[in-house]
Structure 1
Amino acid sequence: MLSASAVLLTRPTATGPGARTGPSVTTATPSPTATPSPTAPSPSSARMLYLVGDSITVGLGIAPELRPRDAWPARARNLICGYGCTQTRAVGHTGQCLAKPRCYYPQTLLDTFGPEVLDAQPAPSEVVVEIGVNDLAHLSDAGYQAGYRELVARGAARGIPVYVATIPPTNTNWPWHSAIQAQRLRINDWIRRQWPTTHVEFARSLEGTDQALDPRYDSGDGIHPNAFGAMRMADATVGLGL
């Protein structure tokens, strides 16, 4: 996000076969807080939409100097309320997992969701969550389901809608593509069944005919979308009505 706010950049120290090198980002500008709807997104002139995730949310795959404009949270912000919008906030950590212990980022999203999102100021009116690719082949399907349900339930307890995104695709440029593809497809099918009208469809926005990351949207490493892919993700976010 490019705004008059603080941007915090850190690098995780953990490493592993799926570790992503790159920063974390928290970008915000103070804004009034909307009265949230627990069932459906409702555009408002007074809101704070949090866009939360891992290295894809940080914008790895896009040149650092272009991320404030071209990463998917920035593109979504621009579509929702313009380049100078003060009503969105991006919170991303490279290598973060949903729930896998000892992940490539030291804390899981379940650990950071309270202090960095639900308890943050300005308070969120809605939250979109992009997470899960780093857990693949490390977390059971049941673990995914429990983790996503927990995020949604914790938001609902405060009247904050939490919208889970389907896990974005990889392709054979990513060394672990073959090992993770079947589970990714299973988890995404479950997300669609669990929240048929309120999930964010990142996977199908980026997939080619083989359900792998479309080469047109590949930054080159097989996992991180380029600027065109980020635009597709922003379109999917706005298409939900956010």
Structure 2
Amino acid sequence: MIETNSGWVRSWGASPQAVHDGLGSFEDHPPLADVTLRQVVRVSGGGHRVRVRFTNEFGTGPLSIGAARVGLATPGGGVRPGSERVLTFSGASAVTVPAGAPVLSDPVDLLLPALAKLSISLYLPERVETCTCHDPGLETGWMIPGDAVAVPVVPENAEVLPVRALISAVELLTDGPARTIVVVGDSRVDGTGSTPDTNHSWPELLAERLASQGAAAGYISNQGISGNRLLNNGIGVAVLARFDRDVLATPGLGHVVLSSGGDIAISFAPRDDSLADFLRMFPGAPVTADDVIAGYRQLAARARERGVRVYATTIPPYGDAETYTPEGERARQTVNEWIRAGGAFDAVLDFDAVWRDPDRPSRIREEFHSGDYLHGSDAGYQALADSVDLSLFD
């Protein structure tokens, strides 16, 4: 048994990225200045005391936060009256975050049930040249002119914020033992293809199942990055390079789930003009199935040093996607055979078996992909979440 944790536990997370290292959703936006960002996150497990981790980890200069608040979110960006809490930083209402650093707010008392939606508002009084973000956001956020952290509803002059900006985690104190499951990987962890504003990534859907059971491990931090790879940087820092920050440093860490297949899709993609611009986002030499297996071995060993259980998902099919090739399919099968039988993990979540079409095993079942034969639909992500044995997290 893993020892449970009665201190801080992470209940929501999003891996930080440089604004130019994502999908481009915010790349051409003017620098932020004299604006309030209001963002909504859904926690997984509940608690009674809250702190927020803000991030300037990819900033090129200091980040000034002039004011910040949290509260229970209502639809459309509102805040439930009476739930508003002012956030401070070492007792001060404002803070300057150095380039390359995060900052934790002081904790505030706020009762958050499991799966509650939390509104986070922060005012940026000075110009933010480089915005640390997570792209895409998959939950609507807003940019409101001026200091609007105390505004109860989003005004008409607000603009939609297309990314998670300057926030990377919500951590809670709980009423009993608790521990966090960190899921790390690529776009199929991140929830690409799911309906925005519905919390339909498979880790969020798994959190719903765990919450319904009242599980102590019902806290999930989703550290997927769309376009991410295990071994090489490209869209976001590679899993091997960000593993200490995004996974092993997680408060209350109890389980790690590894779920990354981007290396194979990129390394074995067709080298033709139709994909040339896309592939330029992924530097580095192509990797082999053996390279991917070696990377998984490294991650498993590093996680076990922290005394946590390590699980892996098999790589789901991607036949008929733009990056598909028969050579890539053979590499995927090789890696999956090793994941299932190599003995490197405490358990295997066989997502390949859940998604593959019985008539064409190299391709996702029609009802489970979002139209691109690569990413899940809401039904596809639900099927993945439903396939997970909850007893693995006892």
What's the TM-score once normalised by structure 2's chain length?
Answer: 0.50
1:28·1:89 contact (CA, 8 Å) conserved in 2?
Answer: no
Q: CA deviation at 1:159?
A: 0.3
2:206·2:386 contact (CA, 8 Å) conserved in 1?
Answer: yes
Matches within 5 A, 1:10-159: 13=20, 22-23=135-136, 28-31=170-173, 46-66=178-198, 68=199, 70-82=200-212, 87-99=219-231, 101=232, 103-120=233-250, 122-136=251-265, 137=268, 138-159=286-307
Counting matched residue pairs gives: 220
Counterparts of 1:57 and 1:123 in 2: how far apart (Å)? 21
Q: Which has the higher contact order (CA 8 A, sep 6+)?
A: 1
Deviation by residue 1:34-68 (Cα, 9 ceiling, x = unmatched):
xxxxxxxxxx95221112221111111012212x2
> Which of 209, 217, 221 is equivalent to 2:368?
217
Q: 1 or 2, which has the higher strand percentage?
A: 2
Match of 2:310 in 1: 162
> Which residue identity does 2:258 align to in structure 1?
V
> Which residue identity does 1:176 align to in structure 2?
T
* Cα distance change, pair 28–52 in 1 and its aligned pair in 2 (3 A): farther
* Cα distance change, pair 52–9 in 1 and its aligned pair in 2 (3 A): same
2:13·2:222 contact (CA, 8 Å) conserved in 1?
Answer: no
2:263·2:287 contact (CA, 8 Å) conserved in 1?
Answer: no
SS at match of 1:125: strand
Q: CA deviation at 1:240?
A: 6.3
Deviation by residue 1:199-241 (Cα, 9 ceiling, x = unmatched):
1111111111121211110100110011111112112333562
Counterparts of 1:115 and 1:9 in 2: how far apart (Å)? 10
Identity over the aligned pairs, expressed in percent? 24
1:176 and 2:323 matched? yes
Counterparts of 1:8 and 1:116 in 2: how far apart (Å)? 6
How well do the aligned residues superpose, as a CA RMSD in angstroms? Answer: 3.0
2:15·2:246 contact (CA, 8 Å) conserved in 1?
Answer: no
* Cα distance change, pair 219–20 in 1 and its aligned pair in 2 (3 A): farther
Counterparts of 1:222 and 1:20 in 2: how far apart (Å)? 22
Deviation by residue 1:166-197 (Cα, 9 ceiling, x = unmatched):
1111131x112224212111110111111387
* Cα distance change, pair 8–146 in 1 and its aligned pair in 2 (3 A): closer
Matches within 5 A, 1:181-196: 181-195=329-343
Deviation by residue 1:120-142 (Cα, 9 ceiling, x = unmatched):
2x231001111123443232122
What's the TM-score once normalised by structure 1's chain length?
Answer: 0.79
* Cα distance change, pair 91–84 in 1 and its aligned pair in 2 (3 A): farther
Match of 2:277 in 1: none
Long gaps (5+) in structure 2: 1-9, 26-134, 138-163, 269-285
SS at match of 2:337: helix
Long gaps (5+) in structure 1: 33-43
Greater Cα shift, 230-239 or 6-15:
6-15
Deviation by residue 1:11-31 (Cα, 9 ceiling, x = unmatched):
76358xxx8985277554425
> Which residue identity does 2:353 align to in structure 1?
R
> Which residue identity does 2:242 align to in structure 1?
T
Deviation by residue 1:98-148 (Cα, 9 ceiling, x = unmatched):
11x3x432411000110111012x231001111123443232122111100
* Cα distance change, pair 170–188 in 1 and its aligned pair in 2 (3 A): same
Q: Larger radius of gyration, structure 1 or 2?
A: 2
Q: 1 or 2, which has the higher helix percentage?
A: 1
